[in-house]
Structure 1
């Protein structure tokens, strides 16, 4: 049976690209690895953040919607995105940093075997720092963040659905997850090909369906090895009777999009060719990158997009 290999990225909505870039690079210490556009609407920014190489599994991305209303929170949505750090000491560091930067956050909590610190970005997106271990030691710092406290990769995503039977069977039977346990009413699922990849699913049948806006998550993307494997997934979903996007060339990777019965959008994305296909690593994210089919519209696109200015008020 096919099974996802790991996380690739998570994509969400922001109201303001400059404020978003300031938060994720200066407050969280991530790298803006690609400044590009929504390929289906090229007059909308699509910003990618991650480690310095933009490796799959480290990336969170944002579509800019300047007129987006506030998210009306509810069910049938991706309601928490987490980042992995090395230690509880790191969480203590981040809690103090969030205090200093006046970023909304919780106290350090526990869930299952994790310690976690919940917080929100400038659009109200629900996020958390999460740690299993307790490694220590400090080395160099960047943006005032010691290397040993920095974000390593994406962690579990939480789904809130009105009926878990519309989501859990899809994850288990079609994406290769195992439902290992339920903690405080939250189902914990692991990918059979990589048990470090978790999805948390909670049921809230009383909540209205989320009305997405700024700060809401559009989709979770899982990594597959290459285009041949993605084609296998496309054939599998077709044979299983699912509607899906088919294979889409996103220039930096190839993708396939599909929904479960709750309306949660999942993307399967290849691990390559990656962001250095059109930029050298030392200049990633510094200029507007466009896929070849949009290059002829570069002047028009650049005229309609406001410059992304990093360094404003957090």
Structure 2
């Protein structure tokens, strides 16, 4: 069986100010809170999922709520998360919106052949709006978003990670994960260095299926913290392929977490050679398995194995509305 990843499933980052985080992503960015839960490995922390109206795989950026200092920037981590919009008219809309909301942002520029707009959230999470021209699965707009449907965020991609040395990361991306190197471009933050673009899936391209790897030996190693990224998750198209990835990684001598049932999807974690945490995740069962789709994100939802501890868990969570 040839294993293929079809794009990004989600990206999980870290917030030290989860109340403002919820306000920013739902009100300023107009994304829907589709799951209000807790970190299943640290139930003292919220785990919030923002996505399109129904939480399609590939549309969600998620946050752990940890009381930690800000990230010290560097390499060995994900350094910019792309969020797709349809066209340059949407970028113009967003440039005006971010300015009106006093959100730190750059100018609309062309990068790697696409129009992009860099910006940051209140904790310095580095984000980028990128035009996708309609590529990727069509999202479902959120009717209650403050952002008009035609300009709403369509999903993830491209995602940039930064490493000091490409060699071993490249070996894993190509030989183990079956990504294809397709092009290079100068690093916008340091044009003397190069960003290498890898593509997932069976071709056709689009930022929803591109991992960008910046090679920056001049940077120190990042120190994890608020405003940083915890891991990036890739989509596997079938349950059969999901199970096959475990054996596949073992064949190459890579250590994994073993299969983990997150209830809304199945997970498998592995670290690439520069220490960045990857997750292989299934598309289903989806966020509607335990909630009515019309009320997603309105109440705290726990995976079944945590439900007996609900009273204790909820009592330790801070209010965020």
TM score, norm. by length of structure 1? 0.94
Worse-matched range after superposition: 139-148 or 233-242: 139-148
Distance 1:55 1:140 in 2: 12
Q: 2:162 aligns with which of 129, 146, 160?
A: 160
Cα distance change on mapping 1:142 and 1:113 into 2, 3 Å: farther
Q: Distance in 2 between matches of 1:166 and 1:100?
A: 44
Aligned to 1:312: none
Would you identify which runs of 4 or more consecutive aligned residues in structure 1 move more than 6 Å?
none
Between the aligned partners of 1:308 and 1:276, the Cα distance in structure 2 is: 22
The Cα offsets for residues 58-78 of structure 1, whole Å up to 9 and x where unpaired, read as 01000001x210110001110
The residue matched to 2:270 in structure 1 has which SS? strand
Task: Indicate the SS of the match to 1:221.
Answer: strand
Cα distance in 1 for residues equivalent to 2:300 and 2:69: 26
Structure 2 unpaired stretches of 5+: 135-140, 187-193
Matched, 1:217 2:217: no
**Alpha carbons of 1:132 and 1:42: their partners in 2 closer, same or farther (altered >3 Å)?**
closer
Query: Residue 52 of structure 1 corresponds to which residue in structure 2?
Result: 53
Aligned to 2:31: 30
Partner SS state of residue 118, structure 1: strand
Does the Cα contact within 8 Å between 2:8 and 2:233 map onto a contact in 1?
A: yes
Q: Which runs of 5+ in 1 are unaligned?
A: 310-314
1:237 paired with 2:246, answer: no
Instruction: Tell me, in whole angstroms, the C-alpha distance in 1 between the residues paired with 2:12 and 2:223.
Output: 16
TM-score (structure 2 length as normaliser): 0.92
* Structure 1 vs Structure 2 CA RMSD: 1.7
Match of residue 20 from structure 1: 21
**How many Å apart are 1:146 and its aligned residue?**
2.0
How far, CA to CA, are the matches of 2:114 and 2:143 in structure 1? 25
For 1:250-269, list aligned pairs within 5 A: 250-269=262-281
Mapped partners of 1:155, 1:47: distance in 2:
19
Q: CA deviation at 1:226?
A: 3.3
Which residue in 1 is equivalent to 2:94? 94
SS in structure 2 at match of 1:202: strand
- Counterpart of 1:108 in structure 2 is 108
CA distance in 1, matches of 2:300, 2:111: 40
Structure 2 counterpart of 1:189 = 198
Once residues 106 and 153 of structure 2 are traced to their aligned partners in structure 1, the CA distance between those partners, rounded to angstroms, is 18
Change (3 A) 1:284 1:192: closer
Counterpart secondary structure, 1:293 = helix
Post-superposition offset of 1:225: 2.4
String of CA shifts for 1:210-257, please: whole Å, max 9, x gaps: 001001001110111233221100011112211011110101111000
Secondary structure in 2 aligned to 1:151? coil
Provide the rounded CA distance (Å) in 2 between the counterparts of 1:243 and 1:133: 38
Question: Counterparts of 2:144 and 2:284 in 1: how far apart (Å)?
Answer: 27
Distance of 2:154 and 2:142 partners within structure 1: 15
CA distance in 1, matches of 2:222, 2:171: 21
Following superposition of structure 1 onto structure 2, how do residues 30-179 of structure 1 map, counting pairs within 5 Å? 30-65=31-66, 67-133=67-133, 142-179=144-181
Shift of 1:149: 1.1
Q: Within 1, Cα distance between the matches of 2:251 and 2:90?
A: 46
Query: Closer, same or farther in 2 for the Cα pair 1:231/1:206, shift >3 Å?
Result: same
Distance 1:95 1:35, change over 3 A: same
Tell me the distance in 1 between the aligned counterparts of 2:317 and 2:82. 30
Superimposed CA distance per residue, residues 179-208 of structure 1 (whole angstroms, 9 cap, x where no aligned partner): 011111211111143533001111110111
For the residues of structure 1 that align with 2:183 and 2:76, how far apart are their CA atoms? Answer: 21
**How many corresponding residue pairs?**
305
Q: 1:219 to 1:175 in 2, by over 3 A?
A: same
The answer to whether the 8 A contact 2:32-2:145 is kept is: no
